[in-house]
Amino acid sequence: MKRRDLIVGGIGAAGLAAASKTKAQKKDVFKWKMVTTWPPNFPGLGTGAMRMAKNIEAASGGRIKIKVFAGGELVPAFEVFDYVSSGGAEMGHGAAYYWRGKSEATQIFTTLPFGLNAMELNGWHYFGGGMELYRELYEDFNLRPYPAGNSGCQMGGWFKKEINSVNDLQGLKMRIPGFGGEVLRRNGGTPVAMPGAEIFTALQTGTLDAAEWIGPYNDLTFGFHKVAKHYYYPGWHEGGPTLECIVNKEAYESLPKDLQTIVDIAASATNDSMLAEFMARNSFALEQIEQMDDIKISPFPKDVMDAFKESAEEIIGEIIDKDPKFAKIYKSFSDYKKTVEKWTKISEYALLQNRYE
Ligand code: CA
């Protein structure tokens, strides 16, 4: 008898059934749906999610086919999490901090004010313990999460009036969601949460005095420069936010191992390519904005940044006191931050200082 026959003989009927099941699965075609939080064909974020779906289909030789839906097409943008969790769709793309209503800790996986940049945050996710905590938190929701994109450092936003000190924030109505919005509130402003598509009209009609969206690439597309003339930096509230792909756990487990690996790799490839796209396209768009004579691009005054930093720390302290899951994940994040900062200071930061000084 040949060695192979011996092995098959040793496996027995159950083993043979399992082996033939594996074989059958290799021919199976998995038809998946991906629901996203992005407007249709939304540049950078939506197109990045679409590229991920195409990569999975191509790498699997068509064994996984994914139909991508923009926010609102199948379910409203902010129902993506529940829909994938319940198995309505196998996959979703959005940002973890949209789900702070489920758990405050989700925000840590996206971004925190004055937090990490994209490179540092990737380090925490993949090699600093972040990913394990991310998976653990989403286990309760029947989801397998992945970092799957990053916009890089955002801009501080468009303002109709100059901001020279914290006093100029009093009564300021600004579109700035979530954590950043709470920081603004504590410094006298009125944060407004509003989908991207409504910002232009709200600025034009005076419903808003200011708005942050993403950065030059997306902001230019929406035309904010036509209705607000002061463009401030940096995006202190979103220094390198990680976008997210979520996969329904049963759907993932139903895939043979090779297809699971393709999904895993496609997510990290998207994490890479999206950041590269934002880096290049933001710089091309900034060049265009710089050529507009009526637009003033300025850094936020130091007293505003100091006040914001103090408020952000205060808010984090309050959440830690009432939310043990947040406290646990934040500890991992902030321990890593202290460590990585030492390296960033003498590597990237030192390089950039020497480039410009
Ligand atoms: Ca933003």
Query: Which residues are placed with Cβ below 5 angstroms of ligand 1, an ion?
Result: 154, 238
CA 39 to centroid of ligand 1, rounded, Å: 15
Alpha-carbon distances of 344 from 87, 129, 155, 279, 347, rounded to whole Å: 41, 18, 21, 19, 5
Distance CA 187, CA 225 (A): 25
Question: 203, 158 in Cβ contact below 8 A?
Answer: yes
CA 315 to centroid of ligand 1, rounded, Å: 19
CA 239 to centroid of ligand 1, rounded, Å: 10
Closest CA to 180 of 305, 281, 264: 305
pLDDT (tens place) for every residue of the chain, 357 residues total: 444 444 443 444 455 445 545 554 567 999 999 999 998 889 999 999 999 999 999 999 999 999 999 999 999 998 999 999 999 999 999 999 999 999 999 999 999 999 999 999 999 999 999 999 999 999 999 999 999 999 999 999 999 999 999 999 999 999 998 899 999 999 999 999 887 888 999 999 999 999 999 999 999 999 999 999 999 999 999 999 999 999 999 999 999 999 999 999 999 999 999 999 999 999 999 999 999 999 999 999 999 999 999 999 999 999 999 999 999 999 999 999 999 999 999 999 999 999 998
CA 223 to centroid of ligand 1, rounded, Å: 16
CA 199 to centroid of ligand 1, rounded, Å: 12
pLDDT digits (tens, 9 = 90+) for 43-100: 999 999 999 999 999 999 999 999 999 999 999 998 999 999 999 999 999 999 999 9
- Both tokens of 110, joined, read 């996206």
CA 227 to centroid of ligand 1, rounded, Å: 18
CA 245 to centroid of ligand 1, rounded, Å: 18
CA 109 to centroid of ligand 1, rounded, Å: 15
Q: What is the pTM of this model?
A: 0.90
Asked if residue 241 has a cis previous peptide bond (ω within 30° of 0), the answer is: no
Report residue 239 CA to chain centroid gap: 11
CA 241 to centroid of ligand 1, rounded, Å: 9
Domains and CATH numbers, the chain: 25-150+240-280 (3.40.190.170), 154-237+293-322 (3.40.190.10)
Alpha-carbon distances of 134 from 77, 124, 336, rounded to whole Å: 21, 11, 15
Question: 237, 212 in Cβ contact below 8 A?
Answer: yes
CA 317 to centroid of ligand 1, rounded, Å: 23
CA 214 to centroid of ligand 1, rounded, Å: 4
CA 23 to centroid of ligand 1, rounded, Å: 46
CB-based contacts of 59, cutoff 8 Å, min separation 6: 262, 265, 266
CA 305 to centroid of ligand 1, rounded, Å: 17
Distance CA 47, CA 66 (A): 14
